[in-house]
Every structure is written in structure tokens, then in C-alpha cells.
Amino acid sequence: MVDVCLRATSPGARLEVTVAFTTRVVQRAQAAHGLAPTSTVALGRLLTSAGLIALTAKQEGTVGAQVTSKGRIRQLMVDANHQGHLRGYTRAGELAFPLTPEEKLSGRRRVAPGTLPGHLSVVRRNARGEYTQSAVDLVSGEVDRDVEHYLVHSDQVPTVLAADVFIEDNDVVMSVGALVQAMPDGDLAQLEALRARLVDGGLLALARETPEPQQLLGVIQPDAEIVEAPVIFTWRCRCSQERVVSSMQLLGPQDLAEMIEAGEPAQVGCDFCGAQYQVSVDEMRGVFRLLIQAEG
């Protein structure tokens, strides 16, 4: 099944309800970076959350979300755009916390022991390049609840956000998310009822029972009406040979000169997607010439 995102509204409760599957995206992320289960779940929740924010934004653009942590996860970094392209990485891909009996039962793994203390910062950029940035301390450490906390504070809109990744034998079986936001005249009691049903593993349990996106939407909010054509989420990076070569300007003329002197091509990896690039000595010479010209 493809990773689909459905946007709907509930005319009765005056809620905006968005449901997304990101199973393939998180499988690709796990494979690209060689992630162990806890790292996969933490990154997957942030990828799904950023995708949900990007696709429900009032303006087209990109969403960058970063968790920086004094815990063992150290850093999670993702970005998403309105076309549904997602990418991201973590500085600690090896985390594999043992499961408690409760986690085994619910399928929802705790990641907070690896993320706390820390904070979450989110940058939202529109098509004109204007951006807003704000940060909050992690309050739960489970990532999806922290993004929810961020949204409530930054947008001042009553919000429920749940995102989860179900892993069996180190394989990602399912990744799913739901974002519910009240319209100005929204029914807040219904929103709270949804919170009780969806967070902390509730959404995952519903999705495992009803893995078809449209049916799942109906289970979450029976009067939901889809308001936009579905968007497919894909794991896609914006890196290219050209961008990698251009980024070598950051090294400065001295380091570049030394690398050219050494006569070996440079190996450069993309943090976001793990792609490996080779920059030839000729390409480095081109960058070096540009730098020297720029410095006059």
C-alpha cells in the first residue's frame, strides 16, 4: 500500500482531521541510515509529524523540525514539503531499548528515555522564502506529543497529534499519524474524546485493525468528509552532485588546496538521505577557482 495522506473535515464537530500512512517512508529512512528500532521509531514519529504539518499548512512551503537532546538520541532532523517529500536523519541510529511487557502489548515503544531532556525547534518556510521559527522544551519526550505541544503553543489552536511506528523483528510493519485541529467553532469535547482514543498507542491499535486509510478515517471520525485529493508521501531528498560540489566552498581555499594537492577524489555523504557522492579533483579545482575569484 502506498503512503497516503487524507485531509478531511468533520462538519458536525467542526474539526479538521488528517490521517497519514508513512510506512514506506520510514522503511526507506531505516534502510538509508541503518537504524535500530528505537532510533527508527523516534525519527519516524518526527517524519510523520512534519509531513502532517506541511500538508495542513495554510501556505505551500517546507517544514523543518529538529529535536536536540542531551539524551542518547542527540539529534533528530527532518524536513517535509507540501508535495509530500520527506527526509531526515538522527545522530544516534543505534538505539534499541528493550521492550517492557506493556510496550510489547501495545506496540508503542517509548523513546523518551533517549530524548529527554531536550528541545524541539520548527522552521516553517513559505514559497516566497519567508519563514517563522520557534522552539519548545520537550515535555513528553515521545516526539509526537512534543510536536502537539509545539503546535498548541505556536498556533494557539486546540490540537491532537499522534504518530507511531510499529516494528516487529527490527522491521517497520506500519507507520501512521493523525492530526486533528479544532476550527474556531470546533467541538472541544469531541476533540478531547479523540485525544483519549488516539494518543499513546491508541491510533496504532486502530490502524492495525483498520489499515485502509479511508476506512481508518471513518473509524476516527465517522462524519469525516475528504476535502482534498490525497497526497502521496515519498522519501525524497534534494541533494545532487551539483549541490554537493557547490557545498565544498564551505571548506575554504586552504583546505581545498590541500585536497587538490593530495590528488584523491573526495567522498561526501548526504546527512539527510545517506547518499554517497564522489567529487573529482577537477571539480574541486573548479570550486577552488570560484573561491579565489570571489576573494579577488
77 lines the binding site for Zn ion (CB under 5 A): no
Mark 238-257 with x for binding to Zn ion (rule: CB under 5 A) and - for no binding. Answer: -x------------------
CB of 16 to Zn ion, least distance (A): 32
Q: Among 9-17, 61-69, 153-161, 272-280, which window interacts with Zn ion (CB under 5 A)? A: 272-280
Return the DSSP state at 59: S
Nearest distance from residue 173's CB to Zn ion, in Å?
26
**Cβ neighbours of residue 50 under 8 Å, at least 6 residues apart?**
63, 64, 65, 78, 79, 80, 86, 88, 147
Looking at beta carbons only, is 36 or 275 nearer to Zn ion? 275
Residue 29 in the binding site for Zn ion (CB under 5 A):
no
Determine, following the binding rule CB under 5 A, whether residue 53 of this chain makes contact with Zn ion: no
Q: How far apart are CA 236 and CA 242, in angstroms?
A: 17
Name the one residue in this structure whose C-alpha cell is 469535547.
189
**Measured distance CA(134)–CA(104) in Å, rounded:** 35
Cis upstream peptide for 253 (omega within 30°): no
Of residues 67 and 239, the one with the C-beta less far from Zn ion: 239
- If one asks whether residue 272 binds Zn ion (CB under 5 A), the answer comes out as yes
CB of 237 to Zn ion, least distance (A): 3
Closest to Zn ion by CB, 220 or 237: 237
Residue 250: exposure state from Cβ atoms within 10 A (0-12, 13-18, ≥19): exposed
Indicate the SS3 state at residue 99: coil
Complex with Zn ion: residue 85 or 145, whichever CB lies closer: 85
Return the number of the residue (156 or 276) whose C-beta is nearest Zn ion.
Answer: 276
Residue number with CB closer to Zn ion (89 or 150): 89
- Residue closer to Zn ion by CB (options 55, 239) is 239
Geometric angle at alpha carbon 160, from 154 and 161, rounded to 5°: 85
Closest to 66 measured CA to CA, from 130, 118, 23, 1: 118
Applying CB under 5 A, what is the total number of residues that bind Zn ion? 6
Taking contact as CB under 5 A, which single stretch among the options 26-34, 185-193, 203-211, 266-274 is the one that binds Zn ion? Answer: 266-274
Query: Near Zn ion by CB under 5 A, which window of 50-58, 59-67, 214-222, 270-278?
Result: 270-278
Site for Zn ion in 200-239 (CB under 5 A): 237, 239
Contact between 273 and Zn ion by CB under 5 A: the answer reads yes
Kindly state the smallest distance separating residue 270's Cβ from Zn ion, in Å.
3
Instruction: Of 170, 253, 159, 166, give the one whose Cα is nearest residue 211.
Output: 166
Minimal distance, residue 271 CB to Zn ion, in Å: 8
Least distance to Zn ion from the beta carbon of 59, Å?
25
SS (H, E, C) 229-279: CCEECEECCCCCHHHHHHHHHHHCHHHHHHHHHHCCCEEEECCCCCCEEEE
Judge contact between 144 and 162, C-beta under 8 A: yes
In this structure, the strands spanning 15-21 and 231-232 are: unpaired
In the block, which residue shows the cell 545522530? Answer: 91
- 276 vs 293, beta carbon nearer Zn ion: 276
The residues of the shown chain that bind Zn ion, judged by CB under 5 A, are 237, 239, 270, 272-273, 275
